[in-house]
Chain A
Amino acid sequence: MLKGSYDMIYVNQLNKHFKESHVLQDVSITFDPHITYAIIGSSGSGKSTLLRCLNGLETPSSGEIKIDDINIFESKDNLAKARSNMGMVFQNFNLFEHKTAIENVMFALIKVKKLSHDEAFKTASTALDKVGLSHRYNNYPHQLSGGEKQRVSIARTLAMSPQLVLFDEPTSALDPEMTIEVLKVIKNLVKDGLKCILVTHEMSFAKEVADMIVFMDQGKILEITPSEQFFTQPVSTRAVQFLSHTQFKGETQ
Chain B
Amino acid sequence: MNIDFTRIIPRIPYLLQGVQVTLTIALVAALIGSVLGFIISLMTSKKGLLGRVLFLFVDFFRGTPLYFQLFFYHYGLPQVIPGFLPTAYHSAFVIFSINSAAYLSEIFRAGIQSIDKGQIEAAKALNISTWDIVTGIIIPIGAKNVLPAIINEFITLIKETSVAAVISVNEIMRRHTIVAGTTFRAFESLIIVGLIYYTLTKTLSIVGKVVERKLRYDLR
Contact = CB atoms under 8 A, between A and B. Distances in A.
Contacts of B140: 98
Interface string B108-142: 00000000101101111111110010001100110
B47 interface: no
A157 B126 CA distance: 7
Contact of B217 (A88, A90, A140, A156): A140
A112 interface: yes
Given A57-B121, A90-B121, A142-B218, A97 B141 contact: yes
A55 interface: yes
**Chain B interface SS verdict (over half):** helix
Contacts of B220: 140
Interface residues of A, number: 27
Contacts of B132: 111
B144 interface: yes
A114 B128 CA distance: 11
Contacts of A96: 119, 122-123, 137, 141
A107 B128 contact: yes
A160 interface: yes
A153 B122 contact: yes
Given A111-B132, A140-B218, A140-B220, A95 B127 contact: no
A94 B116 contact: yes
Interface in A42-76: 55-57
A83 B127 contact: yes
Contacts of B126: 83, 87, 107-108, 112, 156-157, 160
Contacts of A88: 122, 125
B124 A57 contact: yes
B118 A90 contact: yes
Interface residues of B, number: 21
Nearest to A142: B218
A209 to B, nearest CB: 21
Contacts of B122: 88, 90, 94-96, 153, 156
Contact of A97 (B124, B128, B217): B217
Contacts of A140: 217-218, 220
Contacts of B217: 97-98, 140
B127 A57 contact: no
A108 B116 CA distance: 18
A133 interface: no
Nearest to B140: A98
A84 interface: yes
A94 B127 contact: no
A178 interface: no
Interface string B194-220: 000000000000000000000001101
A98 B217 CA distance: 6
Contacts of B136: 107, 111
A88 B132 CA distance: 19
Nearest to A52: B121
Contact of B128 (A56, A87, A111): A111
A107 to B, nearest CB: 7
Interface of B: 116, 118-119, 121-129, 132, 136-137, 140-141, 144, 217-218, 220
8 contacts: A55-B125, A83-B124, A88-B122, A98-B144, A111-B128, A140-B217, A156-B126, A160-B127
Interface of A: 55-57, 80, 83-84, 86-88, 90, 92-98, 107-108, 111-112, 140, 142, 153, 156-157, 160
